[in-house]
Structure 1
Amino acid sequence: MLKPTRTILALATGSLVLGLVGAGAAVADAAPTTDTASRRTAAAADGRHAIGKVVSKGSLKVRSKPTTRSQSVGQLKPNRRVEIECKKYGESVDGNRIWYRLYDEDGTGENGDWQNGDQNGGMGGRGESDKAYGKERWVAARYVKNLSTVHYCR
């Protein structure tokens, strides 16, 4: 009768220890660098944009509208930190209908956070393509973890 009780206690203790170790690793992984922390504070202070992190396994497509059927205008690499201007409902991606509009200071798409999808200088640079598709850059929220509060688009 004692053997099963000891086994249960040992398993419970082991689970507790593993849980605490896992929680410590998660907290350590989430600690921002000083540069990122200052950017996040500045973003929150001016109220214009939030910070997010790309959590996709491969490159994440940047779209001209909040739908997978819209023009691809670039891509973001995994673990890239991005500035998010706002969010809105769009096409569902793996059950998540939220899309994030990327903050783009000068409207050219060349803020260093994403790569132009058209190697010939089309979608994402200055010129006719901006007039055709607008200056908006959208990513599915399913693949971006928001690290600060994201407000809805007006």
Structure 2
Amino acid sequence: MLNPTRTILALAAGSLVLGLAGAGAAVADDGDDRPPREIVVGDGQPGTYPDYKHAIGKVVSKGPLKVRSKPTTHSKSLGHVYPHSKVEIKCKAYGEKVDGNRIWYRLYDREDLMNGADSAGRAAYEKERWVSARYVKNLSEVKYCR
């Protein structure tokens, strides 16, 4: 009969190996040599929840999840969000399939409140930030983008 401690350690090691092997899709390299910038939402403090006006989601990827400029993996990477972090979701839309899921979440950006353009005159759509819904669990209802 096996020692329960050895069995638990063997199962934990196997889970770790399988978990690392499954993280490839969430952290796939897009050829950009620059280190990704971390995207912080809300007040940036883990475990605190200010009064959000939009839907909330929790990142469930195994590694850092890339934030994209459009709902496709071929678009520019704007940064990343870490596993277990909370994100404020503005809306959802259909985009490129990621592991069978075509839904993408547009992240809420406090700069969206500015008159549709920033100080450089860029339109608000140029600042869109998207994450694949495959790696974000919505904790409240998410409406479709208009």
Please give the range of the TM-score, normalised by the shorter of the 2 chains: 0.5 to 0.7
TM-score by length of 2: 0.58
Alignment of 1:113-152 (within 5 A): 134-152=126-144
> Which amino acid in the other structure matches residue 153 of structure 1?
C
Identify the residue that residue 102 of structure 1 maps to in structure 2. Answer: 107
Give structure 2 stretches of 5+ with no counterpart: 1-46, 113-118
Give structure 1 stretches of 5+ with no counterpart: 1-32, 108-125
TM-score by length of 1: 0.56
The structure having more radius of gyration, on CA atoms, is 1
Identify the residue that residue 37 of structure 2 maps to in structure 1. Answer: none
How many residues in Structure 1 have an aligned counterpart in Structure 2?
A: 96
Query: Is 1:84 the counterpart of 2:89 in the alignment?
Result: yes
1:64 to 44, 69, 74: 69
Q: How many angstroms does 1:49 deviate by?
A: 1.5
CA RMSD of aligned residues (A): 2.5
Separation of aligned partners in 1, 2:97 and 2:108: 22
> Which amino acid in the other structure matches residue 103 of structure 1?
Y
Structure 1 outlier segments of 4+, above 2 Å: none
Separation of aligned partners in 1, 2:134 and 2:90: 16
Alignment of 1:30-69 (within 5 A): 35-36=48-49, 39=50, 42-43=51-52, 48-69=53-74
> Which amino acid in the other structure matches residue 149 of structure 1?
E
Identify the residue that residue 116 of structure 1 maps to in structure 2. Answer: none
Identity within the alignment, %: 66
Identify the residue that residue 44 of structure 2 maps to in structure 1. Answer: none
